[in-house]
Chain A
Amino acid sequence: MSALSEMARSARRGRSGYNYAYLDESAKREVRRAVLKALCLPGHQIPFASRDMPVARGWGSGGLQISLSVVESDDRLKVIDQGDDASMNARALRALIADTAEVETTTDAREATLIQTRHRIPEDDLHEGQVVVFQVPIADPLRVVDSRASITRRMHAEGDYSAIWLYLYEDLARLGASSFSHSYPVEVQGGYVMSPTPIPRHDVPRLDGAPFVSLFGAGREATIYALPPYTRVKPLAFDDRPFEVESFAGPCFRCGASGTYLTEESHQGEAVLVCSDTDFCRRRREGSA
C-alpha cells in the first residue's frame, strides 16, 4: 500500500483517536497473511513483524495483534485470563479491542464470536464459526530440548522430533510420569509438533477435532501458528503410558460441577476448589449453563 493511501485511511479514525481496531491497515494485512499461512500449515510457526503494542511485551501483545487484525464490527468479544473475564489484564485487553474496534462484549462463551484467552479454553462446547485467539508466551515446543531457534527450526523442518520423545522417555524413566504440566506438546495432523500454549492438560484433548478456529499469537517471539477446524491434535504419549489430565479432589465448591478445571481459593479460611472458568460457573449456579 502506498504511504499516501495509508495516511488517508488513518485520517478516518475510530472512536479513541486511533485507527479502526488500533493497528494500521498494513499491519493488519500482514498479520492476516501470517494467519492464513498458519491455517494452511497447521502447527507450523509463521514469523511476522510483531508491532509494539500499547501493552507490555509478554502481556498478550501477540494475541492482541491477531484479535485486532481479524475483528469485525459485528463480532461479539470475550476476553479471559485463567478462565476469568474479570481478571485485570483481560479487562484491559477487552477494553482496548472493544473501544477501538467498536464491538460488543460478552462473558458467555457460547455467544462470543471472538474469544481471546490466556491459559484456558472456556468450558462450554464451542461451535463452528467461533475464533479462539490464544496468548502465547513460548511458541516453540522444542525450546525445552534446545533453546536455539536455529537448531529447533531445523528439527521442525526435518520432522526430527526424536529429542522431545527422548525427553518424554527420560521423564518416565526418572520420574515415573511426564513432567509436562501445562503447555503439553501435541502432534498436529500427524505433522508438526506444537505447543498448545500454557493451557492445562485438561484443555488439550478439547483441541482435537475442535469445530472452532484456534489462532496462536506470540508477540514477543513474533510468531503466529494456528489450527483450522477439525484438525487432529494428539498429545505426545507412549502407547503404554497414556496422556493424563489433571485430577481434582472433588467437584467445584461453588457450582458443584465435576469434570471442569478447578483452582484453589480461600473460603472462610478454608482452601476450596472452584471452577477457573468463572462465567461457566456463574451460569451453572444461575441454572443457565
Chain B
Amino acid sequence: MYSTVRDMSGAIEAAARLAELREAVGVANGPDRLIAALPLLVDQVAAEAGVFAPHVCARALGQAAGDVVRAVSLVRAWAATLPRVAHTRAGLDDMRIFRRITPAFRAPARGQYLGASLDYAQRLLDFGDGLPVGIPLKPSRNGHGAAEDPLGPESLPRTWDDDRRPEDAPSNGLGAAGGFPRAALTLEREGLLGLVDPPARPFDRTRNQAQPHGDRGAFLQLLSRSETGSLTALAYSAQRGFGQRQDPTLIELRQGSLPLRMRRPDTAREFVLGWIPVTTAEVAMYRMHDGQPDARLTLGFGATLGRVERRAIAAAVLDATCARAVQQPPSVKEPSEDEELLTAILDGQEASGFVEHLKLPHHVTFTSDLDRLRQVRGSNGE
C-alpha cells in the first residue's frame, strides 16, 4: 500500500539497483559515444542546464538512462558546487559562424550560409544500414527487449558535424560575426525597429533572485535555459493566435562558435579560454492594434547553448511577445505575453520537480482536505 512506501529495509537501494540495470546501458556507451551518436540530445542537456560541458552532459544522460530532465538536474547540481572563478562577456560579433539564414530577406549582405542542417532532408526512416528491420531482442528481466549493440564498442560513428572546428569558419574580417552583418541592421537604420529600453543587462539567476518581471536580462537568461518542450509550446501558442494579433518573422538565425575571452590576472593579456556552441535568433513582430498597424517592429532575441535551433527561435518569439506587451499592455494577457507567468513555469527543473513531487506521500495534507470536505458537507446539511 502506498502510504507504507517507507524505507525500513533498504527499499531505496533496491529500487535504485533495478534502475541501474537501465543506467548501465547508458554508461556502457560512454560519454564519447553519446556525444558522437546523439549530439543534439547532449546539446539539449547542456542548454537546459545552462552549462557547456559536453562530456559531463553525456555522462549525466547515461546515468539518467536518457531522461533529459534528470540529466539536467545532475549537471546543474554538479555545477552548483563548483566555485565561480571568474566571469566574462562574449560579444556576438565575435561568433564564428557555421550556419546563418535570414528567412526575412532573400539575399542579405554576404548571403545565406546553410551549414549543417537536417531541415530539408526527407524524414524517411532509414533501413539501409544492412541491419535487419526487426532487431532481434533478448527479453530482459522486466520483459522489455534489450538489443545487442549492433555496432560493437569500437565503432564510434562519425557525426554530421564532426569536422566543424572554429578555425574552419569563415574568417572574421569585416568586424561582424564571420563577416556576416546582422540582417536586422538594415531595419534598424531605417528606424523600423522599436527601441528596447532599457537594454538588457547581464543577470545570473543561479546566484541572484530576479524580480518577478521587468528585468529583461534575467528573462533572457531564463529563456535560454528553459525546458525545450515548454518553450516551444508557449511560443507556438503565440503563433497560434492566443495573444494579440501578431505575425512573427524570423529575421535571422545563426549558429556558430563563440570564443570566451579572458585576461590573465598577472599580465592582463587576453587569451581565448575556449569556444562554446551557440544558436541565436532574432524575430520581428508586426502587429495590428485596434486596426492600426504599429509604426515599428518589435524585435525579439533568443539564444541558447548548443544547436537545438527551435529553442532559440521560440525564445526570440517569447521575448518579442513579452516586450510588446510591456509597451502596449493588452487588456487580457495571454500566457505568451505574460512574463511573470512564463518566468514561473518555463524552467524544466522547477516544473518537473513540482509535478513529480506528487509522487511523495501526501496523506497528512489529504486527511486535512477530507476533514474540510466532510465539515462543509455537514454544515450544508447534505
Stretch of B4-12, B25-33, B248-256, B271-279 lying at the A interface: B4-12
Query: B326 contacts the other chain (Cβ, under 8 Å)?
Result: no
Interface size range on B against A: 35 or more
Q: How far is the CB of B367 from chain A (nearest CB, A)?
A: 5
The answer on a CB contact under 8 Å between A18 and B81 is yes
Query: A83 contacts the other chain (Cβ, under 8 Å)?
Result: yes
Contacts A87-B6, A87-B7, A148-B340 given: A263-B367 contact, CB under 8 Å? yes
Question: Complex: how many Å from CA A23 to CA B80?
Answer: 8
Interface flags for A94-106 (1: CB within 8 Å of B; 0: not) read: 0000000000000
Is chain B's interface secondary structure helix, strand, loop, or mixed overall? helix
The answer on a CB contact under 8 Å between A81 and B4 is no
Contacts A3-B85, A175-B379 given: A59-B364 contact, CB under 8 Å? no
Query: B328 contacts the other chain (Cβ, under 8 Å)?
Result: no
The answer on a CB contact under 8 Å between A262 and B367 is yes
The answer on a CB contact under 8 Å between A57 and B372 is no
Interface size range on A against B: 35 or more
The answer on a CB contact under 8 Å between A57 and B1 is no
The answer on a CB contact under 8 Å between B6 and A88 is yes
Query: A200 contacts the other chain (Cβ, under 8 Å)?
Result: yes
Query: A181 contacts the other chain (Cβ, under 8 Å)?
Result: yes
**CB closest residue in chain B, given A244:** B375
The answer on a CB contact under 8 Å between B369 and A181 is yes
Stretch of A47-55, A70-78, A126-134 lying at the B interface: A47-55
Interface flags for A124-151 (1: CB within 8 Å of B; 0: not) read: 0000000000000100000000011110
Query: A36 contacts the other chain (Cβ, under 8 Å)?
Result: no
Can you offer 26 A-B residue contacts whose CB atoms are under 8 A? A3-B84, A3-B86, A7-B85, A22-B81, A24-B82, A48-B209, A49-B205, A51-B80, A54-B74, A57-B353, A58-B354, A58-B356, A81-B360, A86-B6, A88-B5, A147-B341, A150-B212, A175-B379, A176-B379, A178-B372, A182-B364, A200-B368, A201-B368, A220-B350, A222-B209, A246-B367
* Interface residues in chain A, defined as those with a beta carbon under 8 Å from any beta carbon in chain B: 3, 6-7, 10, 18-19, 22-24, 26-27, 47-54, 56-59, 61, 81-84, 86-89, 91-92, 118-120, 137, 147-150, 153, 175-183, 198-202, 220, 222, 244, 246-247, 261-266, 276
